Structures are given as structure tokens and as C-alpha cells.
Amino acid sequence: MKRLPKLIYCVFPINFFISHRLPIAREAIKKGYEVHLISTKGEGEEILTKEGIFFHPVQITRSRKNPIQEIKSIYQIYKIYKKINPDIVHHVTIKPVLYGTLAARMAGVKAVVNAFSGLGYVFTAKGVKAAILRNVIKLAYRAILRHNNLISIIQNEDDRDYLISKTIIRKNQARLIKGSGVDLSIFKPTVEPSGIPVVILPARLLKDKGVIEFVEAAKQLRRLNFKVRMVLVGDVDMGNPSSVSVGEIKEWVDDGYVEHWGFKNNMAKTLSEANIVCLPSYREGMPKSLIEATASSRVIITTDVPGCREMIDKNNPNGILIPAGSSIALSDAIIDILSDKKKRQIMAFNGRKMAEKEFSINQVVKSTLKIYEDLLN
């Protein structure tokens, strides 16, 4: 009897795997793969069991302050790879890519897929410390990503060209897949809510997501007496050095500048309650929140930076691009869109068409499974 090909995902945390990679794993199982997940323990383990995915918990920290713990994490991944002897492993985001690829080379794994969901905080942060860490990570990438049977998935052209130009990845090993996809049957056009317009920023509440600029834009709109509800959708992430604090959010809410709806599981419903979706980020891979917004026929405002600029169709605009770091440009764009209902309707229609053409989850699943097949053949 022919053995099933073994596929291991290495993704932290579990809920990120479920929200961004579960449809691919589900289809892989249908195609005959035995699927495993390496991640930290947390909410969602029961979902893995129902889906028929084998779970292998490891201990891993968000920071890099304890070198001994980092070595232990790599060794834990290595032991799992040696025990299972996978045909292919798929790492997602910086730490799994670095640690997982090193463990895969040590364990003699035949094929490796590395997915870069943006280049992360270290590539947007400023200052001497960030620059040093950036150079260290570049060197680590160059040293580790020398697996002959390896494919790197990059979500936007800017990141792809950067990684190739810095000789971090080889050109012939790079594949462009725009984001994690969207289920067009769940995220679909709905009628805009009536009443005072609602503008949401759906993201982890990090400074490099543009949260400060969003709040400053809210203050500017109040000074202009422009009626709008500015809403933060998401939670703080204290493991990230860019996170805003709970105290800051409470102060903004208490002063009436913004509302805070917290983390939402049902984003389709949340988007239906908004008129505009903003993400004034400093850099992204390909933001899932904006992909979901375009599929839901919501006009978007985002920044002219890698990963965000690709979300605006230049020929059939579905939103507005603004400079990163400009709260004035953000407030002006909000006024522009909310003051012209016909323009907003045209942009919303364009967004849905863009999502249907470029971001369907079926396209992402098909492209990813084709990579698996190419590596295994």
C-alpha cells in the first residue's frame, strides 16, 4: 500500500494557522497528504482534531532575549522532523522560516516551502538597534536558505525584489502569491449601514499598523466637526515592541476620539457594519483585512508602501492611497470618500471585482498545492 506524503506546517500561533492556512491544509488532506502542524499550545487545538490534522506543540517565545530557549526551540522542531520524516515542510513568518529551515536541513527534509507574510517589525523599525538586528537576520537568511529543493512564497513584488536583490533568496526559487486568499461566498457585498458613517481599522493594534495616525485623524475630524465614528477593531499585542498600550486605548476611548470593538471572530459581519476600511500601515505582506474588505465591497484607504499599494487598482480605483505617517492625508481621504456617495459606490464595486479576479481562496489553494507537487516531483 502506497504511503501518504507527509506535510508539516510550522506556524505560530495556532489561530494564525487556522485563519490563514487551514483551507490549504484542508485541500492537501483531500489530495491525499498526511498533514501535521507544529505550533505553540493554544486555542484551536480541537479544530485541528476535527480537521484530521496532527498537532505537535513546541515552546517558543516571541522575543529573542534568551539564546538557550531559542536553541531549544530549534531542537524541538528538529526532533519532530526526524521522528515524522516529512516529505515536505511549510514554514510561515520569520521565526518559523529561520528556525524551521535550519531544523529541516539538520533533519534531512527533502522539500521546504517558506512563506514570507511581509518582512515584519524588524524591517520597518528605525534606529541603530533595529538596523543591527536587520543585518543579523539578513545574514541568517542567507546562511540558512540554501536548500536546493526550496521554494519561497512572497506576497508582493516589492518584498520579492528586495529579498532577491539582497541575495536572501534565489530568483528561480521565488513564487508570488498575493495574500492568503478570501472566501468569496462568506465575504460578499452588503448594503452600507445608515446613520453616522463608520470607519474601521481592523488589525493588531500596533504603531506600525498606523494606529497613532488613525487616532490623530480622528482628532482632526472632530476639530473640523465632521461627523464620523472612528473604530479600532483588534487587540493589543504586548509581545510586539510596536504595540500600543491598553492605557492608551482607554484614554482615546474615554476622550471620545475612537471606539474600540476589540478582536472580532466574524469579520464578514464586522465589515458589513462599516462604511470605509482603513489600514495606514508602514509595510505589509498582503493584508488579509484589506482583501476581506474589497471582497465585501468596502472602500479602502491605505498607504503607498509595499504590500498596501498593491491593494489599490490603478485602472479601476477601489480606494485611496496616502503617504505613510500622515494623519492629515488620512483625514482628508476619509472626508473625500464619505462626501461623495456615488464615488464610494463605484469604488466599492471595483473592489469586489478585484477580489474576484485576484484574491479568491481557491486560487491561493491551487497555487500553493502546485508548489508542493513541483517540489515532490
Confidence of residue 141 (pLDDT cuts 50, 70, 90): confident
Question: 296 and 166 in one domain?
Answer: no
SS3 call for 279: strand
- Cα distances from 207 to residues 16, 213, 283, 311, 322, in angstroms, run 20, 8, 11, 20, 17
Q: What is the CATH number of the domain that holds 348?
A: 3.40.50.2000
Question: 354 and 368 in one domain?
Answer: no
Question: 203 and 95 in one domain?
Answer: no
SS3 call for 26: helix
* pLDDT given at position 56: 97
Question: 348 and 217 in one domain?
Answer: yes
Question: 227 and 144 in one domain?
Answer: no
Based on its alpha-carbon atoms, the radius of gyration of the chain, rounded to whole angstroms, reads 21
Alpha-carbon 196 to chain mean position: 30
Would you say residue 186 lies in a domain? no
pTM score > 0.75 for this model? yes
- pLDDT tens-digit profile of 219-231? 999 999 999 999 9
Which residues contact residue 354 at a Cβ distance below 8 angstroms, ignoring those fewer than 6 apart?
A: 294, 313, 316, 318
Question: 42 and 102 in one domain?
Answer: yes
Of 66 and 21, the structure prediction assigns the larger pLDDT to: 21
Judged against a pLDDT cut of 80, whether residue 198 lies above it is answered with yes
Would you say residue 192 lies in a domain? no
Mean pLDDT of all residues belonging to the chain: 93
Judged against a pLDDT cut of 80, whether residue 1 lies above it is answered with no
- pLDDT tens-digit profile of 334-352? 999 999 999 999 999 999 9
Question: 372 and 353 in one domain?
Answer: no
Residue 237 lies in domain: 198-358
- pLDDT tens-digit profile of 23-68? 999 999 999 999 999 999 988 999 999 999 999 999 887 666 678 8
Question: 353 and 368 in one domain?
Answer: no
- pLDDT tens-digit profile of 97-121? 999 999 999 999 999 999 998 776 6
Number of independent structural domains in the chain: 2
